Structure 1
Amino acid sequence: MLELLSMEFMQNALVAAVLVAVACGVMGTFVVVNRLTSLAGGVAHASFGGVGLAALLGFSPMLGSLGFAVACAMLMGILTWRDRKNSDTFIGVIWAGGMALGVILTDLTPGYSGEMMSFLFGSLLTVPSELLYWMVALLVVILVAVVVNFRKFLAISYDPEFARVQGLPVLTYYMVLIALIALTVVIAVQAVGMILVIALLTIPAYIAECYAKNLAQMMVMSVVFSLVLVVTGLMLACQLNFVVGPTIIACGVLVYALHFAVKKLRRA
């Protein structure tokens, strides 16, 4: 393992894992508290349309998924805000549309279809140094936005009606929150892929919610759980020669199952 850690690809993977864990720990808290799991999953899958567009036009897949994720998140946010009754339908249509567009565009790009697996299930061990700079930049944006607007996000998460009465532009901050979730999805896709990203966003936050006394504490605990989960999954995958993304999520599911079982036993 020490020899493995001396290699550049493994060092990049560890740095990327930490960046992903912090982003998912922080924003996963808001996803869980605001019950935005399906929306976050929709954004993750719809962003594949941006990957297909980037492949076809020959620019960075990271930029493609970033632009598409934010655009789809804004569209989902507006539609679900105006018509909460049909929110699942809107999310499902955009989710499927983005995925379908991505597959069609990659099929139109000669020699690119084979790379789809890395976007669908993650490619943490192949993260280049240049991509780390993008991930750091996105994480800085997320953290600064959360710190500056923490009280506003807290207000709209727990009592949006009271926040509106107090004169807070609830829709504006809701849309900012949705945009930050989209940025987090783009970062997390590098580790576990579009299909599994929703688990990394929710499992640590769900567990943290059971023990935390307030939102700030829940956020810190979620980051710690995410770090442990991602680093453990990465190390296990390297030792057992497994695919990293699914291994991380399998660890998360196992931890959640154990947590659920312990809770049931305590109640009994």
Structure 2
Amino acid sequence: MDVIDFFVDPLRYDFMVRALITTLIAAVVCAVLSCWLVLIGWSLMGDAVSHAVLPGVVLAYIVGAPFAIGAVIFGFLAVALIGVVRDTSRVKEDAAIGIVFSTLFALGLVLVSVTPSQTDLNHIIFGNLLGVSRSDLVQIAILGAVVFVVLIVKRRDFTLYAFDPTHAHAIGLNPRLLGAALLGLLALTAVVALQAVGVILVVAMLIIPGATAYLLTDSFHRMLVIAPAVSAACAVIGLYLSYHLDTASGGMVVLSQGAAFALVYLFAPQHGVIGRRITASRRRRTPRDDRGNTENHAERDWATEPKS
């Protein structure tokens, strides 16, 4: 198989085209949101909300409502329950997050097991990228566009909230409202990514791209470009590899993102483990080279100086 066939052959099938579009939408939207999640330190919160939306999605399916409605309701419910447990007991926030999201996720698993359905609801858990229908793609595109537009339009407010909520409040912004908006967008993003990788792997798409970009740059604005670019590239690579190697599509997409993070973690120029050592070694050698060059120049100047 030549290079052209490698890239063109999967696109001959409609389900692969829909899978590619779905993966790109989910990858870009999750990556943009992940920049704020990583910056604020909401990795565990992203894990909690992405798992807690499962019962909401199943209940929405039972009553015939859009998945997004159930996801948003249970996303906010999870956040509220975490706050109640944290504020009214000795249990710390990380433990409260673990208790709430695992309990709601277990409720979702029970609902999936007892809900009669002509479709396999386990796809919500593990993803069904190759089974995305046209109607699913339309829903994903609409939700993804809504989340992306809100994040870009309000990026300055969200960034100020992430860096300094006190200053945000001082200039007239409402930090609680901004935090609630981010959590709502997180719930919608989880729905976008459900079809691609399922509930279990959503958290990876919500954290890995932002963490990867965070190691590559110190500028948040550059993070907003690097994260979706890397995530989209990994989505395409993972989907193509899953097609040619006959492996799970969602798992391969996340595995590609994990591989990209590993490379950046090791070789990023400023923040990579090996990259830092290489950069430090070059800096240590530079002064010696400069002195050596200076001495060589002095010797050449002395040698060419006319003798009296």
- Please give the TM-score of this superposition, normalised by the length of structure 1: 0.89
What letter corresponds to residue 24 of structure 2 in structure 1?
Answer: V
Task: Specify the alignment match of 1:191 in structure 2.
Answer: 196
Q: Which of residues 113, 117, 120 in structure 2 aligns to 1:115? A: 120
Q: For 1:74, give the aligned amino acid.
A: F
Larger radius of gyration: 2
Cα offsets for 1:49-89 (capped at 9, x unmatched): 1233245x2636xx23x233312332344455685773223
**Aligned-residue RMSD, C-alpha:** 2.1
Percent identity between the two aligned chains: 30
Pairing 1:122-137 to 2, within 5 Å after superposition: 122-137=127-142
Q: Given the alignment, which residue of 256, 261, 265 partners 2:274?
A: 265
For 1:209-220, list aligned pairs within 5 A. 209-220=214-225
**What pairs up with 1:34-73 in 2 under 5 angstroms?**
34-55=40-61, 57=62, 59=64, 63-64=66-67, 66-73=68-75
* 1:256 is aligned to 2:261: yes
Q: Which moved more, 1:101-110 or 1:18-27?
A: 101-110
Name 1:146's counterpart in structure 2.
151
- What is the match of residue 103 of structure 1? 109
Are 1:228 and 2:237 an aligned pair? Answer: no
User: Which secondary structure does the structure 1 equivalent of 2:172 belong to?
Assistant: coil
Q: Residue in 2 aligned with 1:75?
A: 77
Matches within 5 A, 1:15-34: 15-34=21-40
Give, in whole Å, the separation in 2 of the partners of 1:117 and 1:77.
25
Kept in 1: contact 2:59–2:70 (CA 8 A)? no
C-alpha deviation, 1:117, in angstroms: 3.6
Q: How far apart are residue 111 of structure 1 and its match?
A: 5.7
Identify which range, 233-242 or 72-81, moves more after superposition.
Answer: 72-81
- TM-score, normalized by length of structure 2? 0.79
Q: Do 2:47 and 2:203's aligned partners in 1 also have CA atoms closer than 8 Å?
A: yes
**Alpha carbons of 1:54 and 1:175: their partners in 2 closer, same or farther (altered >3 Å)?**
closer
Higher relative contact order (CA 8 A, sep 6+): 1
**Distance change >3 Å, CA 153–CA 226, structure 1 → 2:** same
Which residue does 1:87 correspond to in 2? Answer: 93
In structure 1, stretches of 5+ residues that fail to align are none
- Does structure 1 retain, via aligned residues, the 8 Å contact 2:34–2:207? yes
Query: How big is the shift at 1:241?
Result: 0.3
Q: Distance in 2 between matches of 1:81 and 1:215?
A: 28
Structure 2: 5+ residue stretches without partners: 1-5, 278-308
Secondary structure at the aligned position of 1:173 is classed as: helix
- 1:119–1:194 Cα contact (<8 Å) kept: yes
1:73–1:179 Cα contact (<8 Å) kept: yes
Q: Deviations over 1:161-184 (max 9, x none)?
A: 111222211101110011111111
Cα distance in 2 between the residues matched to 1:150 and 1:54? 30
Give the drift of 1:203.
1.1
**Paired residues of 1:42 and 1:95 also in contact (CA < 8 A):** yes
Between Structure 1 and Structure 2, how many residues are aligned?
263
Asked whether the 8 Å contact 1:74–1:178 carries over to 2, the reply is: yes
Q: More displaced, 223-232 or 204-213?
A: 204-213
> What do residues 190-235 of structure 1 show as CA deviations (whole Å, max 9, x unaligned)?
1111111111111111111122342221011101011011111000
| Aligned partners of 2:216 and 2:264 also within 8 Å | no
